[in-house]
Amino acid sequence: MREPDGPGREAGPASQQGMRRANLALVLRVVSRAPRSRAEVAAESGLTRAAVSSLAEELIAAGLVVEEGPAAPSGKVGRPGTALGLNPDGPAGLGAEIGVEHLGACVVDLRGEVRAWRRQEIRNRGRQPAAVMADLAELLRRAVADAGLRPAGLALAVPGLVGADGALLRRAANLGWRDVAAVAELRLALRAANAEELAELPLRADNEANLGGLAELWLGDGPGHFLHVSAEAGVGSAIVVDGRLLRGARGYAGELGHVPVHPEGPRCACGAHGCLEQYAGESAVLRAAGLEGVRGDWVALLAERAEAGDEEVRAALGGAGAALGIAAAGAVNLLDPAEVVLGGGYARLAPWLLPAMRAELTARVTVRPWSDERLTVSRLGRRGPLLGAAVGVVRSLLADPGRLEEP
């Protein structure tokens, strides 16, 4: 799901209805920072107290806002007003994830708290989309039942290129899929699972690396300019510039996994030679570690063996780190991000990837001297894409609460 443009960037309202929707979003932005009395909302938003009272009643009726009790003392004479806050039992964000080796579902409330989290380990490589969507629909149905909240929308994280319309998965090489109508397939699966209400939700698909990068932007501790590099089966990245995701002309920006690091290297599933994925992706690292063909959670396996002192595994991870450093150095020279953030499976493997990455970045970054402090590790790790999907739904709702009224 596309991230909202943010405060002050929406088109100017052309009608009273547009102005009302903009003001509803403005009130929500104020109370989302911390509970506020109506008077405090008026002072911070620039709206009149009468307008805030009217808008607050609409938001309460829509289930987006609740009265939390007396507001914190302001130091002014008189009884404190009633504090308004986001409703933890109001509309929720629903996220879904298709991985090569897993499926995921997540529900977050308006305050961004995770209310349900389900993950199913299942090998999806080579499976038909309809079968994968059927399993995912059941997982989503269970997650919504766990949370007991009403989703306002659904976002799907997928390991591949998604068209600008957020509906068509054009290519997911590690799944073996091409030109899959992901949104339509998931709607059909939800209906077959007797989850008609979920099938009718606003629904978009997005690349898992994009959603992982957005989660880092929204929930992480870093700056608004960074390159987020992540891995599951393949290698992906998200480019965040000035607090916004850089998508490119067709929505395909960030395919770091298919940047050639050794042009004469092995042929990649994408058809090119020497791609980063051939040195730092799941299959490549397992092969270098002497674990080719091993099933299960490859990240956990490599981390456990590296922690135990397995030199072959440590050498394989060092080689992957060097390849990552080469690719990241090119991106740093081109984009000049404030940080390079390791996320996804790489966050768990960071202790053995970082030394070689730092060495390559130091040797190759020429736009300015490289500082090791600019290479960081995401605290979200492998949870990033699914969190990004669910939180993105909530952020879109808070940016335009009036869309709840739309058919």
Percent of residues, the chain, with pLDDT higher than 90: 79
Which whole-number Å values give the CA distances from 380 to 219, 251, 347, in the listed order?
A: 8, 24, 8
> Mean pLDDT over residues 193-210, rounded?
96
- Contact between 300 and 348 (Cβ < 8 Å): yes
pLDDT in tens, 300-319: 999 999 999 999 999 999 99
Average pLDDT value for the chain: 91
Residue with tokens 């605290």: 379
Task: Examine the pLDDT at 2 and tell me if it is beyond 70.
Answer: no
Q: What angle do CA 389, 206, 212 make, to 5 degrees?
A: 50
The per-residue b/e assignment along 129-154, b for 16 or more CB within 10 angstroms, e otherwise, is beebbbbbbbbbbbbbeebebebbbb
Whole-number pLDDT of residue 7: 35
- Contact between 401 and 13 (Cβ < 8 Å): no
Number of residues written out for the chain: 407
Element of type H or E holding 172: strand 169-172
- Contact between 280 and 352 (Cβ < 8 Å): no
| DSSP-assigned letter for residue 12 | P
pTM of the model: 0.90
| Cα four-point dihedral sign 185, 153, 3, 388 | negative
**For the CA atoms of the chain, what is the radius of gyration?**
23
- Contact between 191 and 204 (Cβ < 8 Å): no
- Contact between 123 and 179 (Cβ < 8 Å): no
Q: Residue 278 has which token pair?
A: 């051939």
Report the distance separating Cα 191 and Cα 99, nearest Å: 22
Whole-number pLDDT of residue 405: 63
Residue 80, phi-psi category: left (phi > 0), alpha (psi -120 to 50), beta (remainder): beta
pLDDT in tens, 132-156: 999 999 999 999 999 999 999 999 9
Q: Which of 242, 256, 134, 251 is nearest to 195 (CA)?
A: 134
* Phi, psi angle pair for 155, to nearest 5°: -120, 140
Element of type H or E holding 269: none
Report the distance separating Cα 230 and Cα 209, nearest Å: 7
Give me the residues paired with residue 104 across strands: 97, 119
Report the distance separating Cα 228 and Cα 378, nearest Å: 9
- Contact between 361 and 340 (Cβ < 8 Å): yes
Task: Examine the pLDDT at 19 and tell me if it is beyond 50.
Answer: yes
Q: Which of 13-17, 28-32, 52-56, 111-115 has the lowest mean pLDDT?
A: 13-17
The per-residue b/e assignment along 334-365, b for 16 or more CB within 10 angstroms, e otherwise, is eeebebbbbbbbbbbbbebbbebbbebbeeeb
Give me the residues paired with residue 342 across strands: 229, 377
> Mean pLDDT over residues 350-373, rounded?
94
Whole-number pLDDT of residue 14: 53
Task: Examine the pLDDT at 244 and tell me if it is beyond 90.
Answer: yes
Task: Examine the pLDDT at 8 and tell me if it is beyond 80.
Answer: no
Whole-number pLDDT of residue 296: 80
Whole-number pLDDT of residue 18: 83
Element of type H or E holding 232: none
| Cα four-point dihedral sign 102, 235, 225, 157 | negative
Give me the residues paired with residue 218 across strands: none
Task: Examine the pLDDT at 1 and tell me if it is beyond 50.
Answer: no
11 — pLDDT class (breaks 50, 70, 90) = very low
